[in-house]
Amino acid sequence: MHINLTQKERLLLEDQKKHEEMCIEKYTSYASHAQDPQLQQLFREYAAQEKRHLDSINQLLSGKIPQMQQQGQTQTAPPQPQDRSMPGFGQGQASDAALCQDLLMTEKYVSSTYDTAIFEFTDPQARQVLNHIQKEEQQHGEGIFHYMQSRGMYKPQ
């Protein structure tokens, strides 16, 4: 199916494209800098999902509705803590905490920008695609949150 985008829809998609490119860059880079192998794997999985998001955005920009796969449904469970009794952070854990904090803030922001785009789109199928991507962005944030919480890096007040 071919859709004609309004000028506003095209501009919103161009913004989302930049956001997805930044997410891919961060997850890929952070996977190589993370100390914990489980965190490295989580970041690699999210980078792959972000690449699929970028592909979907590019398809929308070309006027096509992408076929959505239910990638978020098969998301792996967050890694479990190695040792909850360790007080404080080791050098690697502090570094991993900083990477996670940055990506959690990034996911919060990116998810919120999808909210605006979803409400601005006229085509219901395009809205469904954007909603699907937003849901996966929220799942990324949830996965990072659970990772951090399980290691004492994030304690909700």
pTM confidence score: 0.84
CATH class of 7-64+91-150: mainly alpha
- What pLDDT sits at residue 71? 45
- What pLDDT sits at residue 74? 42
Q: How large is the average pLDDT for residues 125-131?
A: 97
- What pLDDT sits at residue 92? 60
What is the distance between the alpha carbons of residues 80 and 151, in angstroms, rounded to a whole number?
8
Q: Yes or no: say if 127 and 121 are a contact pair by the CB < 8 Å rule.
A: yes
Instruction: Count CB-CB contacts under 10 A for residue 14.
Output: 11
Q: How large is the average pLDDT for residues 36-65?
A: 97
Q: How large is the average pLDDT for residues 128-152?
A: 96
- What pLDDT sits at residue 68? 77
Q: Where is average pLDDT lowest: 26-35, 37-46, 75-84?
A: 75-84
